Amino acid sequence: MKKRVLSILLFAGFALGAIFITPSFAEYGDIVLNSKSESMKDAGVKPVLFPHWFHRIRFKCKVCHEDIFVLKKGANDITMGAIMGGDFCGKCHNGLIAWEPLYCDRCHSYEGN
Ligand code: HEC
Ligand code: HEC
Ligand code: HEC
């Protein structure tokens, strides 16, 4: 009897794990953009923490994928020149759709290294 309860609890645990943990790896979580770590360090800014989920609930996937961003972590060669010129994040962070890319720390906010 005890064993049965235990295995039900274990199963429930795995099921919950599958629901709450798996998707956050697949597509939901924040994405750290740090391929330009040297230049960012030189400029005195932290790596970029892109809140994917925050954007996903506001825009359809196809707004960004794959016209603006290739759908693969690290596959986009993003520079500040391009952003200021209206590409990548700058397609929206241009003072019209969203705030301008002047507030460095709003994007360069990753606390790790
Ligand atoms: C505002 C723009 C934007 C929207 C909207 C958006 N994404 Fe993304 N997505 C990004 C960026 C930026 C990256 C990171 C690309 C990189 O690392 O170079 C990314 C990366 C990804 C990745 C790769 C993650 C990895 O770990 O390899 C997947 C999968 C993905 N997005 C799925 C989606 C899906 C599904 C939707 C819609 C439900 C969506 N995205 C909506 C901007 C967006
Ligand atoms: C399709 C349009 C779009 C693109 C592309 C986009 N953003 Fe945004 N972003 C928005 C909007 C809209 C907001 C909300 C602005 C507001 O609240 O005034 C936002 C807000 C944010 C925020 C603040 C989130 C919060 O919790 O308030 C961060 C950080 C951010 N974006 C980073 C980025 C970065 C980094 C990129 C490029 C990798 C990017 N965004 C690309 C539209 C976009
Ligand atoms: C809207 C989001 C956003 C804002 C605001 C922003 N950046 Fe960036 N920045 C990025 C992204 C995304 C990258 C690419 C990171 C990577 O792939 O490694 C980047 C890359 C960089 C790089 C390395 C690439 C290059 O062009 O040399 C530097 C340096 C940099 N940013 C400095 C700044 C400074 C300084 C500010 C404030 C004036 C700023 N950024 C504001 C999103 C932003």
Residue by residue, DSSP assigns 41-77 as HHHT-PPEEE-HHHHHTTS-HHHHTTTTS-SSTT---
CATH architecture of 29-107: Alpha-Beta Complex (3.90)
Tell me how far apart the alpha carbons of residues 83 and 36 are, in angstroms, rounded to a whole number. Answer: 14
Pocket lining: 43 vs ligand 3, CB cutoff 6 Å: yes
Residue 48's beta-bridge partner residues?
33
Q: What global pTM score does this model have? A: 0.88
pLDDT digits (tens, 9 = 90+) for 54-109: 999 999 999 999 999 999 988 999 999 999 999 999 999 999 999 999 999 999 99
Q: Report the nearest-CA residue for atom 43 of ligand 3.
A: 107
pLDDT digits (tens, 9 = 90+) for 27-54: 468 999 999 999 999 999 999 999 999 9
Q: Report the nearest-CA residue for atom 43 of ligand 1.
A: 64
The structural domains of the chain, with segments of one domain joined by +, span 29-107
The Å distance, Cα 53 to ligand 2 centre, comes to 10
User: DSSP label at 86?
Assistant: T
The Å distance, Cα 22 to ligand 3 centre, comes to 30
Instruction: Please return the burial class of 94, using the count of CB atoms within 10 Å of its CB with bins 0-12, 13-18 and 19+.
Output: middle
